[in-house]
Chain A
Amino acid sequence: MSMFKRSPWMVHYDGASCNGCDIEVLACLTPRYDVERFGVINTGNPKHADVLLITGYINEQSQPVVRQIYQQMPDPKVVIAIGICATSGGIFSECYNTKGGVDSTIPVDVYVPGCAARPESIIDGVVKGLAVLETKRAAWRIERKKRNRVFRLPFFKPKASPP
Chain B
Amino acid sequence: MSNRTIIPFGPQHPVLPEPIHLDLVVEDERVIEAIPSFGFIHRGLERLVEKKDFQEFTFVAERVCGICSFIHGMGYCQAVERVMGITLPPRADYLRTFWAELSRIHSHLLWMGLVADAFGFENLFMNSWRIRENILDIVEETTGGRVIFGAAKIGGTRRDVTNDKLKEIGRTLKTIEAELHAITDVFEQDYSVQQRLRGIGILSREDAFDLGAVGPTLRGSGEPMDARCEGYAAYRDIEVEPIVESDCDSYARCMVRIREIYQSFDIIRQVLCRMPDGETEIKVKGYPNGEHFARLEQPRGEVLYYVKGNGTKHLDRFRVRTPTFANIPPLLKMLQGCDLPDVPVIVLTIDPCISCAER
Binding site for B on A (CB under 8 A): 11-24, 26-27, 30-32, 43-46, 56, 59-62, 65, 69, 91-92, 94-98, 115-116, 118
With A30-B126, A44-B13: A18-B66 Cβ-Cβ less than 8 Å:
yes
* Contact of A31 with B130 in the complex, beta carbons under 8 Å: yes
* Contact of B67 with A19 in the complex, beta carbons under 8 Å: yes
Q: Report the interface size for chain B: residues with CB under 8 A from the other chain.
A: 43
* Contact of B64 with A61 in the complex, beta carbons under 8 Å: no
* Contact of A96 with B147 in the complex, beta carbons under 8 Å: no
With A23-B147, A116-B66: A56-B41 Cβ-Cβ less than 8 Å:
yes
> For residue A22, which residues in chain B have a CB less than 8 angstroms away from its CB?
17-18, 66, 355
Whether, in the assembled complex, B278 has its beta carbon less than 8 Å from a beta carbon of chain A, the answer is no
Q: Lowest 10 A-B CB distances belong to which pairs?
A: A20-B66, A44-B14, A30-B129, A18-B63, A16-B41, A19-B355, A20-B147, A61-B39, A31-B130, A32-B133
- B residues 146-176 in Cβ contact with A at 8 Å: 146-148
Whether, in the assembled complex, B110 has its beta carbon less than 8 Å from a beta carbon of chain A, the answer is yes
Binding site for A on B (CB under 8 A): 11-15, 17-19, 39-45, 47-48, 51-52, 59-60, 63-67, 69, 110, 113, 125-127, 129-130, 132-133, 145-148, 353-355
22 A-B contacts, Cβ less than 8 Å apart? A12-B17, A18-B63, A18-B148, A20-B63, A20-B66, A21-B66, A22-B355, A24-B146, A27-B133, A30-B113, A30-B130, A30-B133, A32-B129, A44-B14, A46-B12, A61-B40, A62-B41, A91-B59, A92-B43, A92-B48, A97-B43, A115-B148
Other A-B pairs, 13, CB within 8 Å; known A14-B19, A91-B63: A15-B40, A17-B355, A18-B65, A18-B66, A19-B66, A20-B69, A23-B17, A30-B113, A30-B125, A30-B130, A31-B126, A61-B39, A91-B60
Bound together, the chains give a CA A13 to CA B40 distance in angstroms of 11
Bound together, the chains give a CA A143 to CA B14 distance in angstroms of 33
Residue from B59, B125, B133 with most neighbouring chain A CB atoms (10 Å): B133
> For residue A30, which residues in chain B have a CB less than 8 angstroms away from its CB?
113, 125-126, 129-130, 132-133
> For residue A27, which residues in chain B have a CB less than 8 angstroms away from its CB?
129, 133
Question: B47 — nearest CB in chain A belongs to which residue?
Answer: A96
* Contact of B13 with A62 in the complex, beta carbons under 8 Å: no
With A16-B43, A61-B39, A95-B47: A116-B146 Cβ-Cβ less than 8 Å:
yes
> For residue B148, which residues in chain A have a CB less than 8 angstroms away from its CB?
18, 20, 115-116
Partner pick for B42 among A11, A14, A16, A31, CB 8 A cutoff: A16
> For residue B355, which residues in chain A have a CB less than 8 angstroms away from its CB?
14, 17-19, 22
* Contact of B51 with A94 in the complex, beta carbons under 8 Å: yes
* Contact of A97 with B44 in the complex, beta carbons under 8 Å: yes
Question: A26 — nearest CB in chain B belongs to which residue?
Answer: B17
CB distance from A23 to the nearest CB of B (A): 6
* Contact of A92 with B45 in the complex, beta carbons under 8 Å: yes
> For residue A18, which residues in chain B have a CB less than 8 angstroms away from its CB?
63-66, 69, 148, 355
> For residue B51, which residues in chain A have a CB less than 8 angstroms away from its CB?
94
> For residue B45, which residues in chain A have a CB less than 8 angstroms away from its CB?
92, 95
> For residue B67, which residues in chain A have a CB less than 8 angstroms away from its CB?
19-20, 23
Bound together, the chains give a CA A15 to CA B126 distance in angstroms of 25
Bound together, the chains give a CA A31 to CA B42 distance in angstroms of 32
